[in-house]
């Protein structure tokens, strides 16, 4: 597996990471703990060194899973986790954002225990907190870095102004936001700003929450607890309208003797050398398929062909329901 550096930092990770959320939370049936451990350890064996989790995934159980799975490999892997939500101790549900410095430090201590480690490699603010100046948030993480409890500071779904303000207090190593052939908004302002500042980009949902793999049709029924049930883009009508993009990717994949997932991931990898997508999966054969994308080199002509064909497709549907849209910083 090739390695990449996140921006101008010295944080080097595998070219493709593993998003671990879906093993415990958010995308239908969680898998068993032993199954999750086996999958994560297989990823290490296949060359993955970058693993993504968060306290709110579950909550807590995903960090515990990742921590236990990676104990034997701790020195050779990079673990990213996230703070920034207030979690109801009785229900386990999120009660909105909370990036007060004292809360960030409490979360760090709890995450270190669950991850069975003495340092968090990359600590992201999960969502920008409108009630706490980003300077205070960045300052709290800076303190944790000085104490040796955190190595790198990250932001998630932050807008350009917030990124600049945070970066002035504590250099931001990486921004994590959604980016794929299905969601290209970061190209307008975010990616140019990251390039200017030397900040790495970690696209989540690089396969469009599974849509770009070609395995989801208008007839697909999601499990009751699957987040996609409430995502406007995944309504039956919108899936039908957006199928054209999947067809474009599928046709190109046939030319390349690759799978649609590999083409979608290779497209992300080809955008910038400091981008590291983190597709998630609960299945070993999908893990192996996704990692195969690192070997699929797309030429400038290939990228033009994909982009030209994709530009003909009119994509519809918001990527979040309204309540979640409010958490995205502009």
Segments making up each domain of the chain, as ranges: 3-207+271-296
Please list the alpha-helical segments (H only) found in 131-280. 134-146, 160-169, 190-197, 236-256, 260-271
- pTM for the full predicted model: 0.97
pLDDT of residue 181: 98
- The active-site residue out of 57, 60, 124, 179 is 57
Token readout for 48 is 């993955």
> Mean per-residue pLDDT for 92-116?
96
Average pLDDT over residues 17-33: 92
The pLDDT of residue 184 is above 80: yes
CB 24 within 8 A of CB 36: yes
Token readout for 78 is: 């990079």
Q: What is the pLDDT of residue 326?
A: 75
Rounded to an integer, what distance in angstroms lies between the CA atom of residue 174 and that of residue 178? 13
Reported confidence tier of residue 9, pLDDT bands at 50, 70, 90: very high
Q: Which residues have C-beta within 8 Å of that of residue 105, sequence separation ≥ 6?
A: 140, 143, 144
Q: What is the mean pLDDT of the chain?
A: 96
pLDDT in tens, 126-154: 999 999 999 999 999 999 999 999 999 99
Report, as an integer, the average pLDDT of 32-37: 97
Q: Can 57 be counted among the known catalytic residues?
A: yes
| Overall average pLDDT of the 160-179 stretch | 98
Higher pLDDT, 161 or 329: 161
Instruction: Return the residue matching tokens 């549900």.
Output: 93
pLDDT tier at 109, thresholds 50, 70, 90: very high
Q: Assess contact for 150 and 141: CB atoms under 8 A.
A: yes
Taking the CA atoms of 51, 54, 57 and 60 in sequence, report the sign of the dihedral they define. positive
pLDDT for res 330: 72
> May I ask the CATH architecture of the domain 3-207+271-296?
Alpha-Beta Barrel (3.20)
Strand, helix or coil for residue 261: helix
């Amino acid at each position: 597996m090739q390695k990449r550096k996140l921006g101008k930092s010295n944080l080097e990770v595998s070219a493709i990471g593993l998003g671990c959320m879906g093993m415990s939370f958010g995308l239908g049936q969680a898998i068993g703990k032993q199954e999750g451990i086996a999958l994560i350890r297989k990823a290490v064996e296949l060359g993955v060194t970058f693993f993504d989790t968060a306290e709110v995934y579950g909550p807590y159980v995903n960090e515990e899973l990742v921590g236990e799975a990676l104990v034997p490999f701790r020195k050779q892997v990079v673990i990213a986790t996230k703070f920034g939500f207030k979690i109801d101790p009785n229900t386990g549900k999120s009660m909105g954002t909370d990036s007060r410095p004292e809360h960030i430090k409490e979360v760090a201590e709890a995450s270190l225990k669950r991850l069975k480690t003495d340092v968090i490699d990359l600590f992201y603010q999960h969502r920008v907190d409108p009630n706490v100046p980003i300077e205070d948030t960045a300052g709290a993480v800076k303190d944790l870095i000085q104490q040796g409890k955190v190595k790198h500071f990250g932001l998630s779904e932050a807008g350009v102004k917030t990124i600049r303000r945070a970066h002035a207090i504590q250099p931001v190593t990486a921004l994590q936001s959604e980016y794929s052939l299905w969601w290209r908004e970061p190209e307008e302002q975010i990616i140019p700003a990251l390039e200017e500042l030397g900040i790495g980009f970690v696209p989540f949902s690089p396969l469009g929450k599974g849509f770009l793999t070609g395995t989801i049709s208008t007839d697909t029924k999601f499990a009751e607890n699957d987040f996609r049930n409430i995502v406007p883009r995944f309504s039956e009508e919108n899936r039908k309208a957006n199928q054209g993009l999947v067809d474009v990717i599928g046709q190109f994949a046939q030319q390349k003797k690759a799978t649609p997932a590999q083409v979608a991931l290779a497209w992300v990898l080809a955008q910038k050398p400091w981008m590291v997508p983190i597709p998630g999966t609960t299945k070993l054969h999908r893990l192996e398929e996704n990692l195969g994308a690192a070997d699929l080199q797309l030429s400038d002509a290939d990228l033009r062909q994909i982009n030209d064909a994709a530009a003909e497709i009119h994509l519809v549907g918001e990527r979040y329901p309204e309540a979640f849209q409010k958490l995205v910083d502009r």
